[in-house]
């Protein structure tokens, strides 16, 4: 439980830099790349970028555990896996701040209680709206779901393209990266794991 609390502690972090200071930093970057921050087309750009960044990185101010706290016990003994496939994922890599775009597949086996389906997608959203590595993102989603839902098992798969290697560097535009993380029954029982992988088409 402590690990999940550590994962989610970023939701309590308060900005140390004002919007105005952030806008000034964007102006400096514009000048650094050779632009004129004062020309008509760029005068409002710093404000727009700061507004966009608030959306891109809003996960730092959200807590997935709190979001998963409302569960339902009236499931008449349902004890098989719940799978939510093809959850759109948009994140940014922590090395170049370049977009990571792909899909996430999430599954859990309930232990007396289930959670609203939108909360699974919301958990993916909260962790993806932070600077990330795909490996850590996959683990954070899985560990949070396992702990918050007291699940019998959790499986998370992410298949994503990293713009830091499709638009720059090695420039392999069709390359995608797949990561998996299994906990509980999904890790201990290969038949359950294989059923999950078959359902998501992997």
Task: Kindly report, residue by residue over 105-119, the tens digit of the pLDDT.
Answer: 999 999 988 999 999
For the question of residue 105 being annotated catalytic, the response is no
Q: What is the pLDDT of residue 164?
A: 94
pLDDT in tens, 146-174: 999 999 999 999 999 999 999 999 999 99
Catalytic residue among 23, 62, 84, 93: 93
For the question of residue 193 being annotated catalytic, the response is no
Catalytic residue among 134, 140, 163, 193: 134
For the question of residue 10 being annotated catalytic, the response is no
Q: What is the pLDDT of residue 75?
A: 79
Q: What is the pLDDT of residue 76?
A: 83
For the question of residue 43 being annotated catalytic, the response is no
Cβ-proximal residues to 62 (8 Å cutoff; 6+ apart), any chain? 11, 126, 129
For the question of residue 93 being annotated catalytic, the response is yes
pLDDT in tens, 117-136: 999 999 999 999 999 999 99
Q: What is the pLDDT of residue 77?
A: 84
Catalytic residue among 44, 95, 173, 188: 95
> Whole-number mean pLDDT of the chain?
93
What the chain holds in terms of domains, given with CATH numbers, is 7-58 (1.10.286.10), 71-199 (3.30.1130.10)
> Hey, is 118 helix, strand or coil?
helix
């Amino acid at each position: 439980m402590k690990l999940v609390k550590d994962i989610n502690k970023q939701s309590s972090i308060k900005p140390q830099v004002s919007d105005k200071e952030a806008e000034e930093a964007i102006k400096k970057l514009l000048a650094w790349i050779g632009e004129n921050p004062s020309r008509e087309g760029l005068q409002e750009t710093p404000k727009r970028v700061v507004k966009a960044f608030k959306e891109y990185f809003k996960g730092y101010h959200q807590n997935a555990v709190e979001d998963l706290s409302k569960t339902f016990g009236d499931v008449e003994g349902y004890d098989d896996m719940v799978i939510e496939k093809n959850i759109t994922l948009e994140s940014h890599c922590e090395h170049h701040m370049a977009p990571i775009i792909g899909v996430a597949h999430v599954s859990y086996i309930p232990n007396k209680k289930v959670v609203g389906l939108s909360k699974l997608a919301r958990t993916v959203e909260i962790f993806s709206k932070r600077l990330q590595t795909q490996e850590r993102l996959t683990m954070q989603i899985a560990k949070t779901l396992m702990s918050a839902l007291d699940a019998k098992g959790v499986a998370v798969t992410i298949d994503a393209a990293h713009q830091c290697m499709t638009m720059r560097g090695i420039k392999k535009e069709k390359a995608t990266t797949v990561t998996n993380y299994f906990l509980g029954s999904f890790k201990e029982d290969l038949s359950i794991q294989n059923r999950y992988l078959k359902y998501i088409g992997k």
